[in-house]
Structure 1
Amino acid sequence: MFVEQSLRLSDAAILAMLTRAVAKAAEIGQPQCIVIVDASGVTLGQIRMNGAKYLSLKSARAKARTAASIGAETTAIPEQVGLPIAAATEGDITRLGGGLPILMDGQLIGGIGVGSGSPEQDVAVARAALDAISAQ
């Protein structure tokens, strides 16, 4: 067959994820940069909250694209590979915490990256965003 069906995030899902992520970041008192990409790494939605570090938008995008590329948390990249792969990809791939894959019915449909807080804060905000679509 020459055509494949695939799942993709709706606009409503992207907005729900961003809304939930912003709420979680506000709850923990850490403004964040949040980026959502599709499975090919194209940005579908992003926000830099007031007070978030502006350079964290770049790391959040790298985290989202990495998670979408490998289908796993960014920290799954082995530590000894982290710096060389970041250098080889000009920062497009990272092992910094805060990048999670977006899976639906076992299918990889994208990635979310969060940056500006500690790795634990970034992951908490990313998980909150995923929770926004997990019950759907």
Structure 2
Amino acid sequence: MAQVRVLIVDDQAPFRRAAAAVVESTDPFVVVGTAESGESCLVAARTLQPDLVLMDVGLPGIDGMEATRRLATLARRPVVVLVSTHDEDEFGDGARSCGAVAYIKKSAFGPDRLAAAWALGSSGSTARSSTPPPGPSTSSR
């Protein structure tokens, strides 16, 4: 299976390190770079051409939702997953309309959510803002 190149964008070094550890321990994902702001994310995305961007919503300067909108203009548009410590509904329609394929609360971020978000985004789904399930459903309907 081909590697999935991941750019991690967050202004907090502890989350960048934690997310990098999850990415590096989850096949087929590999960290190709990190960025601390929306502006540095846009530069890094042009240079590194990631397949997937983990984007903090609350970045200084250009916030994560605006950076996501701008990433959509790149010739090689990455799949973007928004991450935050806040609940998704605190961001209103912005989280749904910026072009991200999923929203994951930082406290829930892990290998299963990473893989599910990538599957959602790489499938060409038009879903823009649902937190992906943690894995296969065990409930009966």
TM-score normalised over the length of structure 2: 0.31
